[in-house]
Amino acid sequence: MGTERVLELQEIDTAIGRLQARHRALESGEVVAGPRTVADQAEMADGELQLQLAELDRDQRRFESELDSLTQKEAAEHKRMFDGSIANAKELSALQHEIDSLAKRKSDREDELLALMEQRETVAAAAGDAEARSAALRADAERASADAVEELRRIEGEFAQRTLDREAVAKGVDPELLELYEDLRRQKKGIGAAALVDGVCQACHEQLSAMELDHLKKTEGVRRCEYCRRILVF
């Protein structure tokens, strides 16, 4: 009947099923989707930090421009204070008040600029790390894509060989047994035959009774599991 051959056929069919499932996963892109998504997220995080850094740079330039303007204005007012052009005490008092106000505004801007520069330093460090991480993850995604293409080629070659092996093995199986096996495979999620090891069906993993084992040993034809009805091979 060729029951041993049908078990060999089952092993080949199981291997072919795995190859087909892997091939579908690779072709659909789901295998590389994860690394690509992670790389995309890292690029977005890097982009957000770069935008934040650009905004801080604009703020820094604005503060520096304001400081330069305040410094020039303070210097001009100091010059007026001592160049003798103003003799009126009230005007001198008002000018001194203006100079003091400029000095206060300048000091405040310097403090703000210092805080901003410290913030920029922190953001710049984070942006550098994010850029490096993004580049590394993108390289990983590209490698995963290249590996997937290579694996597809390998699977296609292995699938072709397994198909030839199946044809050769199937020729050694009794046509009626082969038909039963194929029917069972369709009904039983791809498993039509299984080994019986220590009284346990390796398909459904049920322990056969001693009476059933004795009966199967005496059976001349096709032996089948009393639980899942698959073909059993001792």
Q: Which of 42, 37, 36, 35 lies closest to 126, judged by CA?
A: 42
Phi, psi of 23 (to 5 degrees): -60, -45
Residue 69 CB coordination number (10 Å): 13
One pLDDT digit (tens) per residue for the chain, 234 residues: 568 899 999 999 999 999 999 999 999 998 899 999 999 999 999 999 999 999 999 999 999 999 999 999 989 988 888 887 787 888 888 888 888 899 999 999 999 999 999 999 999 999 999 999 999 999 999 999 999 999 999 999 999 999 999 999 999 999 999 999 999 999 999 999 999 999 999 999 999 999 999 999 998 889 999 999 999 998
Token pair 């998504």 is at which residue?
37
